[in-house]
Structure formats: C-alpha cells, structure tokens
Amino acid sequence: MVEQFPDSGRAMGGNTPEFSVGEISGAIRRVLEGTFGRIRVRGEITEFKRYPSGHLYFSLKDEGGKLSSVVWRGTVSRLGLKPENGLEVIATGKISSYGERSSYQMVIDRLEYAGEGALLARIERLRLRLAQEGLFDAERKCPPPFLPRLIGVVTSAQGAVLHDIRTTIARRFPLPVLVWPVPVQGEGAAERIAQAIAGFDAIGPHSGVPRPDVLIVARGGGSLEDLMAFNDEAVLRAVAACRIPVISAVGHETDTTLIDFVSDQRAPTPTAAAEMAVPVRAELEAGLAQRAARLRSGLERGLQLARARLDRAAAGLPDLPAVVENARRRLDDRAYRLDLALPARLSRLRDRVQAASDRLPAPQMILALRRAELDRVGTASQQAMGNLLHRHAATLGRLRVPPAVLVSQLRASKSVLAGAAGQLESLSPQAVLERGYVLVTDSAGRPLAQAAQARAVPEVIMTFADGKVAARPLAAPPGPQGKLDL
C-alpha cells in the first residue's frame, strides 16, 4: 500500500509533484507510526540523560545499530524500572519522527529487564575484584599539592580537552604543562594510556626531564564504548601504582569510569581538573595582601597600646629633676648640720673627759698611795715570810735539816722568782713602748687597731714610752699604709 500524499497532482513545468517540508515530515511520520504501530525492542541502554524538564533521553543499541529513545515526563513514574547506562532492557512503545530535526525515535512507555548488559557486567566484575584488592581505599590516596611546579597531562593532542586545561591553568596560575599525547579510544588506547602514566612515574632526578608534581588524565565525553579505555585493568593498575597524585577527568559530569575510583581525586570535567590542580593566583595575592594589611594593622594597634601604657606609666612617675634637687638640698642641709654638730660633739666629749680627769687624784698622789700600798704589802709579805720561815724552821728543826741546806734552797727560789719577774717586765706594755712601739687611741681612750678606725675620728692620741702626743689623721690615705698629719 502506497500512501497518497496530499495535493500530489500539482506540478510545475512537468509531471514531478511538488510538496512542502511539513507535508513530507507529516507523511513520513504517518508512514512510521502506521507501519510499526506499538512495538517491543530489545537493546542496551546507553547515552542516558535526564533533563531538567523531567524527560529521559537515551539510546537502545545492539551489535546492529542504535535507536534513539525518549520517555516523556508523564510516563516516567509508570516505566517499571529505573533506566541506567549498560542495562539491557526490553522497551515497549512506538516509533515516531521529529520533523524539525529530520530524525526518528522510539517513544517508550514501559521498560522491562532483558538481562545484564555485557559491557556493564564486565565493568562491574572488574570493579568488585579491584575493590577487594584495596585499590579504591581512601587510605592509599594522596591529595595533590597546593601549588605544583609542573603539571603533567595524559590526553589526546587533538581536541578541546588539552586546550581547556591549558587555558584554565594560564588563567588561574600560569605554570608549565608537560603533555604526553595518547589516543583516548579505539584499539590500543588503554595500553598507550597505561604506558604514559607509568612513564611519568618513572621520571627520576637524573633523567633530564622534569618530574610533574600532579598528573591529569583526561578526555571528553562519549558513549560507554568510547570510554572503555579508562575502564581497562592495565590503566587502573598503572594509576594505582603511580607515586604522583592523579586527577581523573574522563567524560562529562554524569559519566563514571573505574579510573574515577582508583585515582587520588576525581574531577567532573577536564576544566574542573585544571581548577583542582592550581589555585587562583589573584586570590592568593589578594589573600596575602589582606593578611599583610591585617598584620600591619595589628602591629600598629599593638604599638598604640604599648605607647598608651608607656604614657600612663610615665604620667604616674614623679618629676625626677625635682626629686634629685630635693635630695641634693637635703644632703647639703645634713652636711651643714654635720659640720656644726661634730665640733660641738667633740667639745662636749672633751669637756666630759676633762671633768673626769679633774675628778681623778694627782699622779704624785697616786704614786705615793701605790708605794704605801706596796710597802704595806711588802711588810705583810715579810711578816708572812718570817712566820713561814719560823714554821719551816720549827718543821726543819723537827726534821733536823741543816741550816746550810735551807739557805741554798731559799737562794734557788729567789733566783727563780727573779727570772720570772724579768720575763714579766719584758712583756709589760711599758717595756713594749720602750722598744719603739706606739699605742694609738681615740680621744676617749679606746685603742685603734686599724687605719680605717683612725681616719674615722678627728683626732688620735699616740702614747710613747715617755709621754703622749695628739695627731690629726689625713682624710684619704695616699698609700696602703696611710699617713698622719702631726
């Protein structure tokens, strides 16, 4: 059955019919919907997108082709399952065309599980095995440095990914970028990516090539098949063994690959990976300027507070020149009063000594009294000696000792007494003075044994063997022994 198009009989310049674009689009739509009607299609979900409007867009694919599909917002709640990439399903709906884009699609109103998708199943099995080995553990991950010196990039040399990374780094904080170009999809892409990651990690200090501080593995968006190189086990193990922090930026924000689990940090897009790798230089400079301003403000405030405390302390102190002047006046007054008091004190002490000496008897009287006392003592001693001799004579008489023996004993005792008297006389103060020594005393008669004591009094008395002499000591000694001003 061939559909008769409206106004098919109209022709211009011949038998070839003429149609409008809308007529052709409507005719194609009616043919598709009338030919297929309601159908069931088996395939694997890929390129799944959920739009803010609530509509779901994805494709059903198998080995023979790919069919664009849509689920309208009002049908989502009645689908029967949640669509995900890699899920093999049986979709029920109808074929329709979209004339504005000259495309056709399947409008789905029901989904049923048809089995596990082959690609998704393989990825899931690899994920579980590597997770059991601990390759995804957070403890083994190392965050990238705050400000790296060199950034390594593993991506394709063609395309917008490398351009976005370079422009973002140049805009935020210009740093050198070392690129290792690799294919990001197709045959042999996984091996080349793994070799690039291992090559960056093998750079040593003597290799002649600078070693990056952070590594970005990136590519643009694509289907699950396009991103399979980043689900390869060789790539994942190379990232896990890399000692350089790795940032993965594969696909768009909704795309997820196994490299995101094993890398040290995941970025939703290549541009976001560049933003994670370097800070914003302008923000750092602004932060430093702000901290410098705060530091200066804090220092100024501290100095102001210290200056205020110093001013308060200075205000609480007395007037030092006035204090010194008052002390000097008091010292001068004390010195003047001392100059007046010392002569008066010495005069009073001299009067007291003179009064005491006037009350003493005369020296001749003292000598006469001393001589009379000695005579009395001598007489008493002679009497005692006589009595002793009489007693000894009686005793000796009883003992019948000869007088000659007694006389010799008495003479020996007399000589012993004379020697002891001589020794006592040689040790007497008068004998010491006769040998040239001098006894120094103050005006009160107190002996002065040191030069400092002599300088402390206004006048000293020096007693010689034949008399006394008064002297005035110097104020400051010229030498170690001092000097007297006679």
The pTM (predicted TM-score) of the whole model is 0.45
Cβ atoms of 152 and 182 closer than 8 Å: no
Q: What pLDDT score was predicted for residue 432?
A: 65
CA 409 to CA 407: how far, in whole Å?
5
Confidence (pLDDT) at 11: 45
Taking alpha carbons only, the member of 232, 237, 200 closest to residue 216 is: 200
Three-state secondary-structure class, residue 428: coil
Residue 424 has a pLDDT of 62
The number of residues in the chain equals: 486
Which domains can be identified in the chain, with CATH numbers? 21-115 (2.40.50.140), 138-279 (3.40.50.10550)
Under-50 pLDDT residues of the chain: 1-3, 5, 8-11, 13, 481-486
Distance CA 226, CA 61 (A): 14
Q: Which residues of 459-471 are buried (b: 16+ CB within 10 A; e: fewer)?
A: ebbbbeeeeeeee
- Give the residue carrying structure tokens 């430093």: 288
What local confidence, expressed as pLDDT, does residue 246 receive?
95
Cα 356 to Cα 348: distance, rounded to the nearest angstrom: 12
Q: Where are the alpha helices (DSSP H) in 134-203?
A: 160-172, 189-202
Q: What is the model's pLDDT at position 414?
A: 67
Task: Please say whether the beta carbons of 63 and 131 come within 8 A.
Answer: no
CB 222 within 8 A of CB 185: yes
* Phi-psi region at 289: left, alpha or beta (left = phi > 0; alpha = psi -120 to 50): alpha
SS3 at position 266: strand
Give the span between the Cα atoms of 97 and 104, in whole angstroms.
4
Angle at 343 between CA 339 and CA 344, to 5 degrees: 110
Predicted local distance difference test score (pLDDT) of residue 356: 78
In 99-164, at which residue ranges do the beta strands (DSSP E only) sit? 103-116, 151-155
- Could you give phi then psi for residue 107, rounded to 5 degrees? -90, 115
CA–CA gap between residue 194 and residue 217 (Å, rounded): 10
- SS3 of 19-84: CCHHHHHHHHHHHHHHHHCEEEEEEEEEEEEECCCCCEEEEEEECCEEEEEEECHHHHHHCCCCCC
